[in-house]
Amino acid sequence: MSGAGSQLRDPPASVVPLLDELRRFMDERVKPLERAVLSQPFVESLPLLRPLREEAKRRGLWAPQMPKAWGGQGLSMLEHGFVSEVLGAVPFAHWVLNCQAPDAGNMEILLHFGTPAQQERFLRPLVEGAVRSCFSMTEPDRPGSNPTWLETRARRDGSGWVIDGTKWFTSSADGAAFAVVMAVTDEDAPPHRRASMLLVPMDTPGVRLVRNISVMGHAGSDWPSHAELAYEGVRVPADAVLGEVGAGFAIAQERLGPGRIHHCMRWLGVCARAYELHVERAATRPFAPFVPLGALQMVQEQIALSRIEIHAARLMVLDAAHRIDAVGQKEARDEIAMIKVFVARTMQAVLDRAVQAHGALGVTDDLPLAAFFRHERAARIYDGPDEVHLAALARRALKAHGVKVP
Amino acid sequence: MSGAGSQLRDPPASVVPLLDELRRFMDERVKPLERAVLSQPFVESLPLLRPLREEAKRRGLWAPQMPKAWGGQGLSMLEHGFVSEVLGAVPFAHWVLNCQAPDAGNMEILLHFGTPAQQERFLRPLVEGAVRSCFSMTEPDRPGSNPTWLETRARRDGSGWVIDGTKWFTSSADGAAFAVVMAVTDEDAPPHRRASMLLVPMDTPGVRLVRNISVMGHAGSDWPSHAELAYEGVRVPADAVLGEVGAGFAIAQERLGPGRIHHCMRWLGVCARAYELHVERAATRPFAPFVPLGALQMVQEQIALSRIEIHAARLMVLDAAHRIDAVGQKEARDEIAMIKVFVARTMQAVLDRAVQAHGALGVTDDLPLAAFFRHERAARIYDGPDEVHLAALARRALKAHGVKVP
Amino acid sequence: MSGAGSQLRDPPASVVPLLDELRRFMDERVKPLERAVLSQPFVESLPLLRPLREEAKRRGLWAPQMPKAWGGQGLSMLEHGFVSEVLGAVPFAHWVLNCQAPDAGNMEILLHFGTPAQQERFLRPLVEGAVRSCFSMTEPDRPGSNPTWLETRARRDGSGWVIDGTKWFTSSADGAAFAVVMAVTDEDAPPHRRASMLLVPMDTPGVRLVRNISVMGHAGSDWPSHAELAYEGVRVPADAVLGEVGAGFAIAQERLGPGRIHHCMRWLGVCARAYELHVERAATRPFAPFVPLGALQMVQEQIALSRIEIHAARLMVLDAAHRIDAVGQKEARDEIAMIKVFVARTMQAVLDRAVQAHGALGVTDDLPLAAFFRHERAARIYDGPDEVHLAALARRALKAHGVKVP
Amino acid sequence: MSGAGSQLRDPPASVVPLLDELRRFMDERVKPLERAVLSQPFVESLPLLRPLREEAKRRGLWAPQMPKAWGGQGLSMLEHGFVSEVLGAVPFAHWVLNCQAPDAGNMEILLHFGTPAQQERFLRPLVEGAVRSCFSMTEPDRPGSNPTWLETRARRDGSGWVIDGTKWFTSSADGAAFAVVMAVTDEDAPPHRRASMLLVPMDTPGVRLVRNISVMGHAGSDWPSHAELAYEGVRVPADAVLGEVGAGFAIAQERLGPGRIHHCMRWLGVCARAYELHVERAATRPFAPFVPLGALQMVQEQIALSRIEIHAARLMVLDAAHRIDAVGQKEARDEIAMIKVFVARTMQAVLDRAVQAHGALGVTDDLPLAAFFRHERAARIYDGPDEVHLAALARRALKAHGVKVP
């Protein structure tokens, strides 16, 4: 072995100073705002939070996942993994660094598939944090896990396109400057060539935000929100198409792989935070005079199980990140599928245990656990439910044995 | 065997007409209001809901758990189990029949331990639905699972008492007419004789509602709320004591046993509702053209597991109810402990599966699943966390082998 | 409710004296032989065990599941459930009472579908315990869970039939007097009418016991054994067919329902035994000087979980038995499927926990736990693997919603 | 990152040629003997297997974990991890390379704590494969998980010692040349200084092999066996003590850390083998004409879960090995505790799933699955049961928060 740096779990030396600076920033500036931000609509916290974005730029933390040429920090997937774990401990910290979903994914596809003109118009302000965006693929009447089966249509009209359809769970549409819309452009093409992606400014006539869907008790606003959108005769020019016509599915796949691992990296931070609260509770809460909760073996067992599962999850995520860096996300699709399932399940279990150890306090909003508990339930659903990834893993294993199953 | 009526899972003939009438009432009057009630603060729904209470009285459904002499239906625990299962499908249906927590428990202890004067003053309006009440035992700095270790004190003052202390998770305090307060009246008594229960009108000077605690994202209001209460020099007369001085723990135990099974019975209704939605989703949602979700074996597996666990939970609850009717709640404490753990866990699993099968829809508030999912997480905590019941079950099993463990 | 006797978990009064007598018989005569019988090949224990069978007859315990007219005790399914639970605690106790698989199932189908002549020839000596039998359906190259897809053929030859094929897991073939063989008699019939059942004396030319298959480390002998059998041009007369030609599948189903619940009833006994050992270990084994293992909360938790799951399993089995008695096994197929899955899984978990609590002793053959652990692993496979029952339950639930899925 | 070699899951370049050679050796020489070796007492297979040991030496594979100076391959813990994973697929392959328990552990402590004279007499023939040894610590009446509480005594007698006591689960004592015996040498010392380790030739008068304990159906013989041993007035000289008098506990800990990870590394091989059989079964077994078992989603799910858990287990084991190499086993005790629990549980689940997918075939001895299933159940017990490691992990986490719990 070549030395300490080769141990997967430790950050590469290249990113250590940035991580140190990030931890300071989190402790000094971000965490102190957590309670306030979580207790009011996000839109009302923007005056509090915008200065942090400027500070993140000054501190050299901005847009860690983007190339330096675009004003980011140019981190590899593995390096970003360590950053994202730190950020994940606070629900809005990714937003502060401008590496939050869905914008991070949109930046990525604009970077890879956008024309220079598209990049100047859409990517530039996005990277700079001047605007937000959304990704409009999922439809209420179609399974989100099947991106080859969509109802939204973009039909040719002169040199441009006219889009009609209904989308939902278009996260962060409220207040976004533009949407990346997935629509069928050729119904007669083979399934994986039917759809295209189109760049649609939200103020285009015919784009209508029907509602912010109430999720787990709140409709949300601005960035943390999930819109139902109607596209009614929305007319866009020919150059609204991102990449080639018919490349919608391919670009979606290209976006989803890194998107999934980005979520997993963030979830590591959620897990770490919950575990920290869990242990602290066990150490400090008496269950009888002078006896801490942590003296009870059933409490110990829950702590230990979380410790083990988080350790497993972390190694798997870092391994997947390393593999994406080394061979690309397509070759790493098994690793991505494995962490999508495992880390989401681990997070749910870790949160559940931390809530339980806190008793009544665990379900209150005095701690961030309850918010994590209810909002991260969706982790096992978005970007492909567990079932889809499990089936895909097995099918690829069988294929390696020469058997193709549906 | 003596006939079909002896099959545990079928309701006794005595209660069949009432159940038929109840189902009609639920379908015609209660369920149609669900969406509206769940989408606004409860206090704003009261004008909608109060007429239902009058109708429940007219239809002979009111206060099913209370004796006929008090205006109730005089059901046994087993009979009430079938009623409660039907009610549990809709979050506020117990309230409509006036058998909701915490009032049902307070009615019970007032009925068993109250003097005639206390009953006239506190129980009468409670049974009639003229007022609501709350039960003020849990404290923020003491483990709720240890009712022998409290900080709140009631000290003698002339012929009366003066109460000082802080309580939280006093559910439904907001808008209640009175509280049943558990306070230490003799610090030097043996642990199980230290505390007493006192009847305290909420408008007594010194009673202060500090806040409705935000739980899973909402502070709530009126009945569905959980208060932090300060008792600051609260003076009550000698006859405010319920039962004997020093009987607080004993009455709490008397209240908790039936209280726990009441929750379990309600949870059966939650499970039934979630399962019904789960199967309907699998039957009607296509995952590909003309192929329902239910054709997927992983979906089938989840349905079947919920079916099995609900069946087990239901038989256990009905068995425990039968046993309470036959030998009393003290002799049935193992059965109660078993269902408290098993049914709460089953409910959590059943809700989790139903959410998963609904995909994104499952976490929205378009269905009641998300509300059940976040609010019923507390089921494994209140009235004794799982860990307490598991340990108690084992300790009693060991005691039967002659071994006493702490 | 009509009284204490109607509580599902208590045996009906009709069977209480028999149960008392049975418990005495088990304690006095059966259990004392357990260690000896389990430590040598079964065939060598026969001289020890045969006198117990005579005694069981004298004590009025013989063949509890058979009608009195045939020399049995004429118990209902529910009554037999309580008997079987007691027997299940000792691995060979069912054999002692002549209600062991596969003979009990064969008795049942001979009783229901046999001609008087077939009954005299095959059933009479079987009920009397003069001979043993086997049931020859599963084939090595065909999924046992799909009884419509068999390779063994019985073709017409004059007035009789000639059977050719290979079977395996024909339990107890070693030493059996006859086999009930399932073979395709009409390949062109609809799937459920293709096969018939044939009564084949084991000494018929062409019947060859290829081997007793080594299962979990032992090939076994006599009754506890699983044979691979070759049927090579086996000629049987026309009246060898049980029931109608083409009725093989229907009779198999008729046999499987009660067969499954018989297993479940036995497993309750296995669970009870393992739980008893588990608690005893926790009560008596010190983990430190003067501190029993049971003082550890992690040990308590395992005991409590087993207690709860066994209670659930027991109520479900008794409920299913009651339902079979009331409406027949076809109408009770959901209940049977539920217990087949739930009780087998519960047993595996209960055994696993008991083994763990015993430490090294748990995996030795000084206790029966290790034998139960390895042999009952098959419970989740035989008579339909879990997966088949789970899918069937879901499909029937979906069908009730008007959706038919494969 | 410094390159592909730094990815934790890939073997360091240093060991790649050895691994290639090892795989060839396994395929050509070891695997072909598996069926034969597993179907007869191990002692009868020795003539078949001894030549393989000579060949392993010739091929440069011998004793991979031992220093080159002692005739081994001098591998680091991480390098050995990759070797052990390959070996684990076949139950006796570690024996072929002379890195099997308990000899590997004994070699290690002799290497670190033995005097030159002890090494010449005991270690030399052990490394060369001329003799076998055993480790005699666990006692029937004392919890194996508490090595500070032993009954066996070694008392001073002139310049030597006299040992009296009973041990069990002294694996491989049958046929061993010597035992390393843990005995109390000073009852009045602090708990961790009470015991010493003594080197006792098995032919010393007073050493008596009471029995090979029957485990999961077989008493075993020679290497795969677990003895109960009586030490009755066993007299050994002063230089029989390994390390210092009173250092028994410390040496045991020194032995256990690497011993545990050695087991984990082997279990990875068991998992890999089971998974391979599982996928192959799903790919090749039809459940209906022309439809493989693997087309069923419930089967796919089981494959995918095993894949994920094995991946997690593997990364954790390699990480722990790396950490032992980097900072020593004491600093890596959390990592070792985590894998001891996680890998043993994973293996049990992976084997269980593979058995289930094979149906009846899975419980037969036609495949190695059933042998793995029953023998590896002990993995969650030996070298500290799960419960001990879970509690230790939690206690250390709490200690880091300044809280010491028992």
Amino acid at A207: V
Contact D305/C at CB under 8 A: no
Q: Is residue D268 predicted with pLDDT exceeding 60?
A: yes
For residue D59, give Cα distances in angstroms to A316, D19, D54, D126, D128. Answer: 35, 11, 9, 19, 15
pLDDT computed for residue D32 by the predictor: 96
Q: What is the pLDDT of residues D305-343, one digit of tens each?
A: 999 999 999 999 999 999 999 999 999 999 999 999 999
Terminus-to-terminus CA distance in chain B, angstroms?
Answer: 42
pLDDT computed for residue B65 by the predictor: 96
Average pLDDT over residues B78-98: 97
Other beta carbons less than 10 A from residue C313's beta carbon: 23
Contact C305/D at CB under 8 A: no
Contact map slice: B 238-267 vs A, CB within 8 A: none
Q: Answer whether C308 sits within 8 Å of B405, measured CB to CB.
A: no
Beta pairing partners, A162:
A155, A235
Q: Answer whether C279 sits within 8 Å of B398, measured CB to CB.
A: yes
Q: Answer whether A316 sits within 8 Å of D312, measured CB to CB.
A: yes
Residues D339 and D314 sit within 8 Å (Cβ to Cβ): no
Contact D159/A at CB under 8 A: no
> Between these two residues, A229 and C5, which has the higher pLDDT value?
A229
Helix (H) or strand (E) segment spanning residue B270 = helix B248-284
Prior bond to C292 cis, omega within 30?
Answer: no
pLDDT computed for residue D3 by the predictor: 37
Of C1, C319, C394, the CB nearest to B322: C1
Contact C398/B at CB under 8 A: yes
pLDDT computed for residue B171 by the predictor: 97
pLDDT computed for residue C163 by the predictor: 98
pLDDT computed for residue C148 by the predictor: 82
What DSSP assignment string belongs to D68-94? Answer: GGGTS----HHHHHHHHHHHHTSTTHH
Q: Give the closest-approach CA distance of A295 to chain D in angstroms.
A: 5
Residues A220 and A235 sit within 8 Å (Cβ to Cβ): no
Tokens of D376: 């590896």
**Pairing assessment for the beta strands D195-201 and A195-201 based on DSSP bridges:** unpaired
Q: Is residue B1 predicted with pLDDT exceeding 60?
A: no
Helix (H) or strand (E) segment spanning residue D227 = strand D226-236
Banded model confidence at residue D34, pLDDT cuts 50, 70, 90 = very high
Q: Answer whether D356 sits within 8 Å of C146, measured CB to CB.
A: no
Q: Is residue C3 predicted with pLDDT exceeding 90?
A: no
Q: What is the pLDDT of residues C367-400, one digit of tens each?
A: 999 999 999 999 999 999 999 999 999 999 999 9
* Three-state SS annotation for C99-148: CCCCHHHHHHHHHHHCCHHHHHHHHHHHHHCCCCEEEECCCCCCCCCCCC
The pLDDT mean for chain B works out to 95
Q: Answer whether A8 sits within 8 Å of D8, measured CB to CB.
A: yes
Burial of A355: CB neighbours in 10 Å, binned 0-12, 13-18, 19+: buried
Alpha helices in D114-165, H assignment, sequence order = 116-118, 124-128
pTM (predicted TM-score)? 0.97
Tokens of B237: 């007369």
Taking CA atoms, what residue in D is nearest to A291? Answer: D405
Q: Answer whether D303 sits within 8 Å of A393, measured CB to CB.
A: yes
Contact D328/A at CB under 8 A: no
Length, in residues, of chain C? 406
Banded model confidence at residue D379, pLDDT cuts 50, 70, 90 = very high
Of D288, D298, D373, the CB nearest to C387: D298
Banded model confidence at residue B190, pLDDT cuts 50, 70, 90 = very high
Average pLDDT over residues C49-72: 97
Percent of chain C with pLDDT over 90: 91
What DSSP assignment string belongs to B43-90? Answer: HHHHHHHHHHHHHHHHTT-SSTTS-GGGTS----HHHHHHHHHHHHTS
Tokens of A132: 């937000």
**Beta-carbon pairs below 8 A across chains B and C:** 177
Q: What is the pLDDT of residues B310-339, one digit of tens each?
A: 999 999 999 999 999 999 999 999 999 999
Residues A386 and A392 sit within 8 Å (Cβ to Cβ): no
Kindly give, in sequence order, each residue whose CB lies less than 8 Å from that of residue C291, ignoring residues fewer than 6 positions away: none
pLDDT computed for residue C144 by the predictor: 77
Contact map slice: B 179-238 vs C, CB within 8 A: none
Q: Give the closest-approach CA distance of A215 to chain B in angstroms.
A: 4
pLDDT computed for residue A2 by the predictor: 35
Determine the Cα–Cα distance for residues D73 and D221; give it in Å rounded to an integer.
29
Contact C297/A at CB under 8 A: yes
pLDDT computed for residue A394 by the predictor: 98
- Residues in chain A, pLDDT under 70: 1-7
At C163, phi and psi to the nearest 5? -105, 135
Q: Is residue C94 predicted with pLDDT exceeding 60?
A: yes
Banded model confidence at residue C258, pLDDT cuts 50, 70, 90 = confident
Q: What is the pLDDT of residues B252-307, one digit of tens each?
A: 999 988 899 999 999 999 999 999 999 999 999 998 888 999 999 999 999 999 99
Helix, strand, or coil (residue C217): coil
pLDDT computed for residue C5 by the predictor: 37
Q: What is the DSSP letter of C229?
A: E
Q: Is residue D1 predicted with pLDDT exceeding 50?
A: no
pLDDT computed for residue B2 by the predictor: 35
Alpha helices in D168-327, H assignment, sequence order = 248-284, 297-327
For residue C18, give Cα distances in angstroms to A191, C64, C168, C315. Answer: 69, 10, 37, 21
Query: Of B50, B68, B56, nearest to B21 (Cα)?
Result: B56
Tokens of B171: 């559910």
Q: Answer whether C296 sits within 8 Å of A297, measured CB to CB.
A: yes
Burial of D21: CB neighbours in 10 Å, binned 0-12, 13-18, 19+: middle
Q: Answer whether C214 sits within 8 Å of D145, measured CB to CB.
A: no
Banded model confidence at residue B147, pLDDT cuts 50, 70, 90 = confident
Q: Is residue C219 predicted with pLDDT exceeding 80?
A: yes
Q: Give the closest-approach CA distance of C396 to chain B in angstroms.
A: 10
Q: What is the pLDDT of residues D75-122, one digit of tens each?
A: 999 999 999 999 999 999 999 999 999 999 999 999 999 999 999 999
Determine the Cα–Cα distance for residues D294 and D357; give it in Å rounded to an integer.
9
Contact C298/B at CB under 8 A: no
Q: Is residue B4 predicted with pLDDT exceeding 90?
A: no
pLDDT computed for residue D5 by the predictor: 37
pLDDT computed for residue B148 by the predictor: 82
Banded model confidence at residue B3, pLDDT cuts 50, 70, 90 = very low
pLDDT computed for residue A227 by the predictor: 98
Q: Answer whether C76 sits within 8 Å of B1, measured CB to CB.
A: yes
Determine the Cα–Cα distance for residues B148 and B151; give it in Å rounded to an integer.
10
Residues A172 and A132 sit within 8 Å (Cβ to Cβ): yes
Q: Give the closest-approach CA distance of C33 to chain A in angstroms.
A: 39
How far does Cα A189 stand from its chain's mean position?
Answer: 31
Determine the Cα–Cα distance for residues D59 and B384; give it in Å rounded to an integer.
64
Kindly give, in sequence order, each residue whose CB lies less than 8 Å from that of residue D338, ignoring residues fewer than 6 positions away: A307, A308, A311, D316, D320, D389, D393
Burial of D134: CB neighbours in 10 Å, binned 0-12, 13-18, 19+: buried
Residues C292 and C285 sit within 8 Å (Cβ to Cβ): yes
Residues A268 and D378 sit within 8 Å (Cβ to Cβ): no
Taking CA atoms, what residue in B is nearest to A151? Answer: B289
pLDDT computed for residue B267 by the predictor: 98
Structural domains for chain A: 4-108 (1.10.540.10), 133-242 (2.40.110.10), 250-399 (1.20.140.10)
